[in-house]
Each structure stands twice: as structure tokens, then as C-alpha cells.
């Protein structure tokens, strides 16, 4: 039941985000007579401090967060997995150097590094993606490393190596399929983290540039008018919460389904 | 071969901290746990043949070395910050109206006229003398600014930590004792909500409810002891959520142990069994997580302090990003990250000290 609801929410998020440019929206049209108007039949989510339709801006914000989440998770997943898996497979000096590098990036707590990078690079969608990817790839690298280190002891990998298969072939055919479950689960939770991080950066004024809408920036604008127009803060916040909750719920389900700890457990049961 | 028994029975439990000689299969990695700072590899290789106490000592030394290397790396990345800025950092800092002489002066003051390696050496040398640079906008040494803001962040972190413990322990214990009941699902539902709710939304909501409508606490700023309540509450939700889950899983693991059955068989009162016998053993992994989460707390403080205009290091970070005061940004990031590394190191040491099974003397081995 909850899984179905979560899937529906995520599907709606993705569809609306992708279709937003095609919809007849006017997220940047300023209607002075509607400034801070509460939700009504005309505009279900009301109007903001400039008299813009909040509903339309929510959809544009959905697109922003969807695009950022998509790009950041894809880039981090590819870069991190490749880096972690390759260095771990090579082992020895490569592995030690890689681990040290990963540890350095992990020494920056949370999204602090992303905040600093976004601040230095300046606002903009592409800079947000860069900043969050620089922070994000490390988790996948760690995970891929741990998986490869265990998996490469398995008989089928040893056999492939003995048969003279190339590194790439082994990685692609014998390791990646077994790692995929854990990586997918990690990436799912990654989407939730990126949605919050993007909104957080935008809230801090380090995200997308106005007039482009972002849920975080909408909350930031809304905090100034909280007493007169609480709907300005409530609508984007609820959107973030819905998406993040749905992603987390789905991630939990996926984790149970794939049981990410499986490869190591079965590998040792003898 | 004894294969790492019991090391990964719970998702949060870090096998690195279950150090018992012979429990580890050499060459088998154990680091798919989520705890980033435990470097287990050295231990793995050492555990195989060495005596327990030596392995522990080697682990600690390795840990110390790792922390030093991480610090060095962090310092290097932070040093590079100013060179990551697209365009001329001096121009961006001073704006377009600045005169050429002003620019040259700032370039000279920041040492940007030197070659990169020389700048790096200067930066490292300055740090060793606790010289963090000079703030252009505030016209004072960055060190002063940090010292000024440090108590506020410290207070916020402390209150948040206490609040988290007070909230998470009962929640987690309750969920564990009443496993698979409405209590459990309610507590874990709350925890899921806590992870999913962003600080920058929860903060304004709390302000709306408790400050504007009920008028219990000040809206923002630091004004008396009551002003710390809302920021601390905001900051602690995510932490409480993670920690209560950890307490739950850790308790569940302990609840099946033989010594608890013995305690129950002896007819001890349930409260004593839970608090004295179960909780004390379940707390060990929780402590590691708490140390790790303190870092997340410091990073989260950047957002939370901004929401509440709480005059701490986090707000200083954002203010200096906005005013393009890059030396201050560098110093803030450096301070927060180094604190994080140190706290983690300390957690590991404390852990080794608390758990009789992994004490240095190795008498139990």
C-alpha cells in the first residue's frame, strides 16, 4: 500500500518534471493584484510575494530538483563505481591511494563541501550539479570498493581471471551484475539526499538563479512572509517531504528485496 | 576458519569495533558498513597473525595516521578553494568599482602573486601558527571572527546532542521492546519522517507554530536561553531519527543474548534488565554513530543557523560566502571539517576505552 503510494508520488514527480515545459504554465508572470493571495479555486496553491502562481512554480521546482537529482546521481554513480571498483580490483597501492582519497572527501561533514563549492563557483544549475557530484561520488566509490574486495575472492572471478579474461570483461560481466543491487539501493537513497541538498543549497541562496524556481528557494522567499502567507512555505516544503519520503520508503523496500548484504554473507558461509 | 561471527548481524554495527583475534578471516574485507572513518584494512592484515593487543595498538596508530592524512588532505583542498573560483578571485572579492591599487594590495596580502607551491607553503606555515588570514570585509583577523562565533555553535551543538539523546534513547528502546507492534511502527514512522524532513523547512514551521502563533520562543537570534530551543530541536530531528533506529537495532540484537535470559530468569525487574543489562551493551555501536553524527550536526548547523539567524560558525560561513569574503569561508570549512575528524578519532579512542572486549591490555583475548 505505502509502496504503491510512494511509486505513484515518484512517477508523478518524474512525469510533471519532464512535461513541465510542455504544459501551459506561466511561472514567471507577475500579477500585482494577487500578491500573497491565499489558495483559491483559481490558483490551488495561492500566489507568492510577487503575485506569481505558486502551483506553476512548484512544477518548475519539481523539474529543477528532478534534473539535479538525475544528473548528480547518475554522474556520482558512474564515476564512483568506476573509481571504487577499478582501484579495488587492482588492489595494493592503487587501493590504498584510492581509500585515502575517499577518506579525505569523507572528512568534510555532510554537504559542507557542496555548500563551499557552490558558494565559490557561484549560483546556477550546472554549478549545483558539480558541487553535489564532487560530494556524492565518494559514497558509491566506497560501496563499490567494499563489494569488489569481497567479490573478487569468489570462485567464478578467480576462474575468469585464470582463463585470462581482461579486467574490463571481469568487471562488466562478473562483478557489476552482483554489485548492481547494492548500488541501486544506494542510488535510491542518493536521490533523496540530493533532493534535500539541492533544496538546501537553493534555500541558502547558492542554488538556481531567479527567476528559475526551486523548492528550496521558494521556502526561502516564503519565510519572510510566514505570518501573512504561510502557504508560501507549506506548499514547497510538503512537495520536498512527499518526494523524499517516497524515495526513502522505496529505498527501504528495495533494500529488503535485494538484501544488499547478501554477497558478503553468502561468500563467507562455509 | 572462524568467519567474523556476529559482526554484521545488525545493519549499523561496525565490524571494525568487534575486534577479537581469530574472528577475522585474513584478506576478507569487512567495510561495507556505513561508518566512513573506520579503516579496517590495516587491522585485517594485522589481526591474522599478531597478538590481539598488538593488533589493537596497530589499529590505533593506523587510525591516528589516517586522521592526520585526512587533515592534510582537507587543508590542501581548502587551500585550493580560492583557485577554484572562476575568474580573478581578487576582482570578485572587491567588486568592479575597486581601483587597481586596491586590487594589487589585496593580491599582495593574499599572496596570490606568488607561485602556487609557494602559496601552499605559506598557507601551511600560517596554519601552523594558527594564522587563518585576514577578513577583508570585517577588517580583522579571521581567527578573531571564529573565536567570536564559536561559543554560539558550541552551545547549539551541546543542547542538540543532549536533546537527541533524551529523545532517541526512549524512542529506540520502546520500539525494540515492543517489536512489531503499533509502538514500533509509530516510532519508526516518526524516525522515517525525521530523516525525510529538511531542516530548512522544519525550522520555519517551528517558528510559525511556537514563535508566531504560540509566542513561546523568540523567532530568531540569540537572546536568552529560550532562543536555543527551536534551533536545537530543528537540528536534532534528523539526528534523533538516525539514532533511534540505531538504538532499536542494537537493542534487538542484545535482547537475544544469553545474559539477558539469565537476568530474566533471575527474576530481575524488567526496567533493570533493560536499562542495566541490555542498554549498556547496546550503547556501544550507538556511541560510534553519535560521534559520526556530530559531524553531520556541524554541517547541518550551517543551514539551521541560517534559518534562525543563530550567530555561530555556520551563519558566518554563509555570510562570508555572500559577501565573497573567501579567507573566512576557507577558515570556517577548515574548522568544521577538522573538528569532525577529531571528534571521530576521539570516538574511536573512547570506544576502545569503554568496551572491555577491545581494551589495550588484551587480557580477555
Kindly indicate the confidence band of residue A114, based on its pLDDT and cuts at 50, 70 and 90.
very high
For residue B20, tell me if it sits in a domain.
yes
Same domain, B162 and B304: yes
Partner-chain contact B306 A204, CB within 8 Å: yes
CB contact under 8 A, B31 and A227: no
Residue A213 lies in a domain: yes
Residue A239 at interface with chain B, using a CB cutoff of 8 Å: no
Closest Cβ–Cβ partner in A107, A200, A203 for B74: A107
Q: Which residue has the higher pLDDT, A194 or B211?
A: A194
- Which residue in the set B25, B196, B296 is minimally distant from A110, CB to CB? B296
Residue A228 lies in a domain: yes
Cα–Cα distance, B14 to B94 (Å, whole number): 49
Q: Which of B32, B198, B207 has the CB atom closest to A199's CB atom?
A: B198
Same domain for B298 and B166: yes
- Name the residue of chain B whose CA is nearest to A203's CA: B200
Instruction: Tell which of B41, B67, B84 closes a domain.
Output: B84
Inside any domain, residue B19: yes
What is the per-residue pLDDT across B78-126, written as a single tens digit (0 to 9) for each? Answer: 998 888 888 777 878 887 777 778 888 888 777 777 888 888 888 888 8
**B-chain residues within 8 Å CB-CB of A65?**
none
Same domain, B53 and B182: no
Residues from chain A contacting residue B36 (CB–CB below 8 Å)? 103, 106, 142
Distance from the B270 Cα atom to the nearest Cα atom in chain A, whole angstroms: 32
Is B136 part of any domain? no
Tell me what ipTM this predicted complex has. Answer: 0.85
What is the pLDDT, as a whole number, of residue B26?
Answer: 37
Which A residues in the span 28-87 are in contact with B, Cβ-Cβ below 8 Å?
Answer: none
Q: Name which residue leads in pLDDT, A201 or B104.
A: A201
The residue ranking higher by pLDDT, B362 or A190, is: A190
Q: Is residue B162 domain-shared with residue B288, that is, in the same domain?
A: yes
Structural domain ending residue among the three candidates B63, B84, B105:
B84
The predicted pLDDT at position B163 comes to 93
Q: How far is CA B100 from CA A137, A223, B82, B83, B111, in A?
A: 41, 40, 20, 20, 16
Cβ distance A116 to B317 less than 8 Å, yes or no, reads yes
B327 falls within a domain: yes
Say yes or no: B54 and B163 in one domain: no
Model confidence at A226: pLDDT above 90: no
Closest in A219, A264, A269 to B204, CB measured: A219
A268/B77 CB distance under 8 A: no
The beta-carbon neighbor of B200 closest among A203, A226, A264 is: A203
Domain that residue A109 falls in? 3-245
Q: Distance between CA atoms of B172 and A192, rounded to whole angstroms?
A: 23
Question: Is there a single domain that holds both residue B319 and residue B204?
Answer: yes
Given an 8 Å threshold on Cβ–Cβ distance, is B85 in contact with A120? yes
Going by pLDDT thresholds of 50, 70 and 90, the confidence category of residue A264 is very low
8-state DSSP, B24: S
Contact B302 A112 (CB under 8 A): yes
HEC assignment per residue over B184-211: HHHHHHHHHHHHHCCHHHHHHHHHHHHH
Q: Residue A164 pLDDT > 50, yes or no?
A: yes
How far apart are the C-alpha atoms of A82 and B205, rounded to whole Å?
42
Please indicate if any CB of chain B lies within 8 Å of the CB of A224.
no
Task: In whole angstroms, give the CA distance from residue B344 to residue A107.
Answer: 9
Q: How many CA atoms lie within 13 A of A77 on its CB side?
A: 21
* Chain B contact for A143 (CB, 8 A cutoff): yes
Answer yes or no: do B85 and A149 touch at CB < 8 A: no
- Give the pLDDT of residue B55: 62
Average the pLDDT over A221-230 and give the result. Answer: 86
Residue B178 lies in a domain: yes
Cis geometry, peptide bond prior to residue B28 (ω within 30 degrees of 0): no
- Total residues found in chain A within this entry: 270
Residues A80-107: what's their mean pLDDT?
Answer: 91
Q: How large is the average pLDDT for residues A42-71? A: 87
Q: Among A150, A205, A227, select the one facing B29 at the smallest CB separation.
A: A150
Compute the nearest-CA separation of B135 from chain A (Å). 16
Q: Based on the domain organization, do B56 and B158 belong to the same domain?
A: no
Asked whether residue B155 is domain-assigned, the answer is: yes
Same domain, B199 and B310: yes
Within a domain: residue A39? yes
Question: What does the pLDDT average to over A88-92?
Answer: 89
- B57 and B156, same domain (yes or no): no
Q: Please identify, among B84, B113, B135, the residue that sits at the C-terminal boundary of a domain.
A: B84
- The answer to whether residues B27 and B148 belong to one domain is no
**Per-residue pLDDT at B138:** 81
Q: Is residue A250 part of a domain?
A: no
- The answer on B341 and B254 residing in a single domain is yes
Total number of domains in chain B: 2
**Mutate which of A112, A188, A218 to test chain B, going by most B C-beta atoms within 10 A?**
A112
Residue of B nearest to A104 (CA): B70
Among B28, B195, B197, whose Cβ lies nearest the Cβ of A268? B28
**Residue A260 is assigned to a structural domain of this protein:** no
- Burial environment of residue B114 by CB neighbours within 10 A (0 to 12, 13 to 18, 19 or more): middle
Distance from the Cα of B239 to chain A's closest Cα (Å) equals 12
> What pLDDT is stored for residue A137 in this prediction?
94
pLDDT at B301: 87
Tell whether A237 lies on the interface with B, counting CB pairs under 8 A: yes
Q: Is residue B108 part of a domain?
A: no
Our CA-based measurement puts residue B173 at a distance from the nearest CA of chain A, in whole angstroms, of 21
CATH assignment of the domain containing A139? 1.10.3720.10
Whether chain B has a CB inside 8 Å of the CB on A91: the answer is no
Residue of A nearest to B321 (CA): A119
Number of domains present in the structure of chain A: 1
Residues of chain B with pLDDT below 70 are 1-56, 352, 355-365
- Interval A124-148: pLDDT, tens: 899 999 999 999 999 999 999 988 9
Domain residues for B244?
Answer: 143-354
pLDDT at A55: 85
Cα–Cα distances (Å) from B218 to A103, B154, B202, B257, in that order, read: 40, 20, 16, 48
B-chain residues within 8 Å CB-CB of A182? 32
Task: Answer whether residue A38 is part of any domain.
Answer: yes
Distance from CA of A18 to the nearest CA of B (A): 24
Residues of A in contact with B70 (CB under 8 A): 100, 103-104, 106-107
Contact B73 A101 (CB under 8 A): yes
CATH code for the domain in which residue B256 is found: 1.10.3720.10
Domain contains B162: yes
| Of A78, A71, A75, A70, residue with least CA distance to A10 | A70
Say whether A241 and B340 touch across the interface (CB within 8 A). Answer: no
Query: How far apart, in whole angstroms, are the C-alpha atoms of residue B125 and residue B131?
Result: 8
Amino acid at each position: 500500500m505505502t509502496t504503491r503510494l510512494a511509486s505513484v508520488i515518484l512517477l508523478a514527480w518524474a512525469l510533471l518534471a519532464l512535461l513541465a515545459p510542455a504544459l501551459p504554465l506561466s511561472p514567471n508572470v507577475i500579477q500585482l493584484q494577487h500578491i500573497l493571495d491565499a489558495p483559491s479555486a483559481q490558483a490551488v496553491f495561492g500566489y507568492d510575494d510577487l503575485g506569481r502562481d505558486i502551483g506553476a512554480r512548484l512544477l518548475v521546482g519539481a523539474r529543477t530538483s528532478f534534473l539535479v537529482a538525475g544528473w548528480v546521481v547518475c554522474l556520482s554513480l558512474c564515476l564512483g563505481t568506476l573509481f571504487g571498483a577499478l582501484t579495488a580490483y587492482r588492489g595494493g597501492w592503487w587501493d590504498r591511494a584510492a581509500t585515502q582519497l575517499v577518506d579525505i572527501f569523507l572528512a568534510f561533514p555532510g554537504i559542507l563541501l557542496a555548500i563551499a563549492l557552490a558558494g565559490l563557483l557561484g549560483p546556477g544549475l550546472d554549478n549545483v550539479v558539480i558541487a553535489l557530484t564532487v560530494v556524492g561520488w565518494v559514497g558509491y566509490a566506497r560501496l563499490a570498493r567494499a563489494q569488489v574486495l569481497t567479490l573478487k575472492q569468489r570462485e567464478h572471478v578467480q576462474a575468469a581471471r585464470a582463463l585470462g579474461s581482461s579486467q574490463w570483461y571481469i568487471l562488466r560481466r562478473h562483478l557489476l551484475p552482483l554489485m548492481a543491487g547494492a548500488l541501486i539501493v544506494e542510488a535510491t537513497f542518493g536521490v533523496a539526499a540530493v533532493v534535500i541538498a539541492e533544496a538546501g543549497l537553493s534555500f541558502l541562496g547558492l542554488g538556481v538563479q531567479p527567476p528559475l524556481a526551486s523548492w528550496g528557494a521558494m521556502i526561502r522567499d516564503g519565510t519572510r512572509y510566514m505570518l501573512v502567507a504561510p502557504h508560501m512555505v507549506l506548499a514547497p516544503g510538503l512537495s520536498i517531504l512527499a518526494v523524499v519520503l517516497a524515495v526513502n520508503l522505496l529505498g527501504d523496500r528495495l533494500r529488503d528485496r535485494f538484501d544488499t548484504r547478501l554477497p558478503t554473507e553468502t561468500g563467507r558461509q562455509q | 576458519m572462524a568467519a567474523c561471527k556476529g559482526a554484521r548481524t545488525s545493519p549499523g554495527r561496525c565490524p571494525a569495533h568487534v575486534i577479537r583475534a581469530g574472528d577475522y578471516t585474513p584478506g576478507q574485507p569487512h567495510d561495507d558498513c556505513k561508518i566512513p572513518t573506520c579503516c579496517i584494512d590495516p587491522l585485517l592484515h594485522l589481526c591474522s597473525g599478531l597478538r590481539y593487543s598488538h593488533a589493537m595498538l596497530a589499529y590505533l596508530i593506523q587510525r591516528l595516521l589516517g586522521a592526520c592524512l585526512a587533515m592534510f588532505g582537507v587543508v590542501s583542498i581548502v587551500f585550493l578553494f580560492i583557485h577554484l573560483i572562476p575568474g580573478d578571485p581578487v576582482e570578485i572579492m572587491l567588486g568592479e568599482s575597486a581601483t587597481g591599487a586596491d586590487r594589487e594590495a589585496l593580491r599582495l596580502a593574499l599572496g596570490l602573486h606568488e607561485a602556487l607551491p609557494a602559496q601552499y607553503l605559506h598557507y601551511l606555515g600560517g596554519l601552523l601558527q594558527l594564522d587563518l588570514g585576514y577578513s577583508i570585509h570585517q577588517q580583522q583577523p579571521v581567527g578573531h571572527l571564529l573565536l567570536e562565533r564559536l561559543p554560539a555553535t558550541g552551545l547549539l551543538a551541546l543542547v542538540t546532542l543532549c536533546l537527541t539523546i533524551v529523545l532517541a534513547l526512549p524512542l529506540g528502546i520502546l520500539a525494540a521492546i515492543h517489536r512489531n507492534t503499533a509502538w514500533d511502527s509509530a516510532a519508526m514512522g516518526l524516525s522515517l519522517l525525521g530523516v525525510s524532513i529538511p531542516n530548512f523547512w522544519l525550522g520555519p514551521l517551528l517558528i510559525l507554530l511556537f514563535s508566531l502563533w504560540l509566542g513561546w520562543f523568540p523567532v530568531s537570534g540569540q537572546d536568552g536561553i529560550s532562543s536555543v530551543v527551536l534551533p536545537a530541536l530543528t537540528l536534532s530531528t534528523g539526528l534523533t531519527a538516525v539514532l533511534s533506529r540505531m538504538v532499536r537495532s542494537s537493542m534487538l540484537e542484545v535482547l537475544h543474548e544469553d545474559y539477558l535470559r539469565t537476568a530474566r530468569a533471575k527474576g530481575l525487574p524488567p526496567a533493570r534488565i533493560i536499562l542495566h543489562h541490555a542498554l549498556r551493551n547496546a550503547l556501544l555501536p550507538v556511541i560510534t554513530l553519535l560521534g559520526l553524527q556530530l559531524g553531520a550536526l556541524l554541517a547541518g548547523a550551517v543551514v539551521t543557523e541560517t534559518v534562525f539567524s543563530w550567530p555561530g560558525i555556520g551563519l558566518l560561513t554563509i555570510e562570508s560566502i555572500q559577501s565573497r569574503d573567501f579567507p573566512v569561508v576557507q577558515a570556517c570549512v577548515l574548522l568544521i571539517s577538522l573538528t569532525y575528524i577529531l571528534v571521530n578519532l576521539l570516538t574511536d579512542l573512547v570506544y576502545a576505552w569503554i568496551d572491555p572486549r577491545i581494551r589495550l591490555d588484551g587480557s580477555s583475548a
